[in-house]
Structure 1
């Protein structure tokens, strides 16, 4: 994606269109408008977050951190995401809306679109690095241009290992050398803009997970059989 998307998200006026149904937190479809044009985005205000016992308020920061981490790796898995202080319902994340067929998701892609498997396996790797607690099947989209995306990263980066995902089909597969080279720098230092959105323990745990991946060289295996989100889709 080009800089136009980030300009619209960062500088555009934000108009509420309506609430997106079946979200555990209040999530809204909005239209962002600027001199460069207009587009749809997904708005997640802090004020709409349900209280959680294991995550502090401010999940929108984790949405932004996931985008920045994906960009730092050069993977482009997460749609452009910014934090907006001035928005209709207060501070929150604003993410570029992916035009897609919402009947497609991880399960259908894995079964019906083997050409996506490489990208799906990379999302599995990203989810381990970011300690994603909520990778439902519906959080994997294929855009109208064929590109595969991961969305909904508000429950990532916990210092405690909480990985829950539907993507276990690649468990135990060797991680390609190119991807190991991509993540290797994270073992020593996490990008400063990501660090700014997390706490010290979370950053330390991220580096520890990367070191384990570099040591083992394979995608993680769920030996408990219980590391699934609910609902699955």
Structure 2
């Protein structure tokens, strides 16, 4: 194994290593297995979601969630946002599926929280108001964090229909990663997210820079890769979302005709 570039080592192990299943995430709606990929003495913990374990959905074609997870990673990488852990599709103990690097060293500080309505912390943005089981007014809030704002922009681009608070992973080096992107890239507006705190506000420079990169990359390798993973109609919708964001330079506002929040939100 090469030892000069840890990222290359991790990629090689995930792509070529033998996967041993060590556990299961029981709260996931689809079969989601925790495992370890091992190659030449090196090992990488990973999440493995076999296609055969995908639960049928009424609005997404059967057997396509792994491809959507990979497409989301490719968009994140091409835009320079790097907000999705390394993701591939390969064979495993239960057949082909999505394999993603497991992020274990998450910062314990939450990026999304539920707080009393009158105690929204400084530097946090309210998303929605609710009533808890005891009848007290509470608010769902998220941090006003630049890295989280990039993740929110990424979600708009990929049309993420399931950005829960538990899918947001802050790391000790200041990055914020998003996981669980099987419900992305639908041709219809499906954006359901807990990150509405910036609704209607200007996009930050990091998001705009990524949009410019995507404009270029979709005409090259990225476009060729996505053509193998999502439909022609979904690809056209992706182009329209990027064009709209580039023109408005603002985060969208929540739709009024459907729920804009995933369930459960946290």
Report the TM-score, using the length of structure 1 for normalisation: 0.91
* Structure 1 unaligned blocks of 5 or more: none
Q: Distance in 2 between matches of 1:13 and 1:112?
A: 47
**Is 1:29 equivalent to 2:34 in the alignment?**
yes
Question: Cα 1:147–1:176, aligned 2, differ >3 Å: closer, same or farther?
Answer: closer
After TM superposition, the structure 1 stretch with the greater mean CA deviation from structure 2, 11-20 or 182-191, is 182-191
Equivalence for 2:230: 198
Give the drift of 1:100: 3.1
Counterpart of 1:59 in structure 2 is 65
Deviates more, 1:178-187 or 1:2-11: 178-187
Q: Where does 1:119-134 land on structure 2 (aligned, <5 Å)?
A: 119-134=147-162
Worse-superposed segment, 74-83 or 142-151: 142-151
Structure 2 counterparts to residues 206-221 of structure 1, below 5 A: 206-221=238-253
Instruction: Name the structure 1 match of 2:11.
Output: 6
Where does the alignment leave 5 or more consecutive residues of structure 2 unmatched?
A: 1-5, 115-119, 125-142
Question: What is the deviation of 1:208?
Answer: 0.3
* 8 Å Cα contact 2:78/2:217 also seen in 1: no
CA-CA distance at 1:60 after TM superposition: 0.6
Contact preservation (8 Å) 1:188, 1:207 = no
Deviation of residue 220 (structure 1)? Answer: 1.2
Contact 1:131 1:163 in 2 (8 A): yes
Residue of structure 1 aligned with 2:83, choices 77, 95, 104? 77
* Larger CA Rg, structure 1 vs 2: 2
Across the aligned residues of Structure 1 and Structure 2, the Cα RMSD in angstroms comes to 2.3
Match of 2:95 among 90, 95, 99: 90
Q: Deviations over 1:135-192 (max 9, x none)?
A: 0000000124442100000000011110000001111221134432321354576222
Q: Tell whether 2:194 aligns with 1:166.
A: yes
Q: Is residue 19 from structure 1 mapped to residue 47 from structure 2 by the alignment?
A: no
Alpha carbons of 1:4 and 1:53: their partners in 2 closer, same or farther (altered >3 Å)?
same
Task: Report if aligned partners of 1:104, 1:141 keep a CA contact under 8 Å in 2.
Answer: no
Summarize the Cα distance change of 1:111–1:93 in structure 2 as closer, same or farther, 3 Å threshold: farther
1:207 CA drift (Å): 0.5
Deviations 1:53-101 (A, max 9, x none): 11112201111111111010111100000001x2101110000000134
Could you say what secondary structure the match of 1:154 adopts? coil
Q: Give me the whole-angstrom Cα distance separating, in 1, the residues matched to 2:191 and 2:49.
A: 22
Quote the offset at 1:116 in angstroms: 6.7
TM-score (norm 2): 0.80
Q: Provide the residue aligned with 2:133 in structure 1.
A: none
Q: How many correspondences in the alignment?
A: 232
CA distance in 2, matches of 1:188, 1:148: 25
SS for the counterpart of 1:79 is: coil
